[in-house]
């Protein structure tokens, strides 16, 4: 959980991203995202948005593809991607 000041740049931002993700998810992309999360080792820190971006925007389908995708798309700070 994080605190965001009312009226700040990120006020409502993450809620909008969540709504957009929900609007574009298909059963196939949802399954792929859940499988990638399941295959991720417990000691690996990956932001949830990385899974969504890789699968929805870049059609990543397998865990090896996801690992390569992360190397090519390093997440530094807040990820501002939105579908």
Alpha helices in 1-83 (DSSP H): 13-24, 27-39, 48-52, 58, 63-72
CA triple 45-49-52, angle to 5 deg: 115
Total residues found in the chain within this entry: 83
* 37 touches 51 (CB < 8 A): yes
Residues 6+ apart with CB under 8 A from 75: 47, 49, 50
- Per DSSP, the three-state class of 58 is helix
Q: pLDDT (tens digit, 9 = 90+) per residue, 64-80?
A: 999 999 999 999 888 88
Question: Taking the model in full, what pTM does it have?
Answer: 0.85
Q: pLDDT (tens digit, 9 = 90+) per residue, 14-68?
A: 888 899 999 999 999 999 999 999 999 999 999 999 999 999 999 999 999 999 9
Indicate whether 13 pLDDT > 90: no
């Amino acid at each position: 959980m994080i605190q965001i000041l009312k009226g700040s740049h990120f006020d409502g931002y993450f809620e909008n991203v969540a709504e957009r993700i929900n609007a574009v998810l298909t059963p196939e992309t949802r399954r792929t995202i859940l499988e990638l999360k399941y295959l991720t080792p417990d000691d690996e820190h990956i932001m949830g948005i990385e899974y969504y971006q890789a699968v929805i925007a870049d059609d990543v389908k397998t865990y090896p593809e996801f690992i390569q995708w992360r190397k090519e798309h390093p997440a530094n700070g807040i990820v501002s991607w939105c579908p």
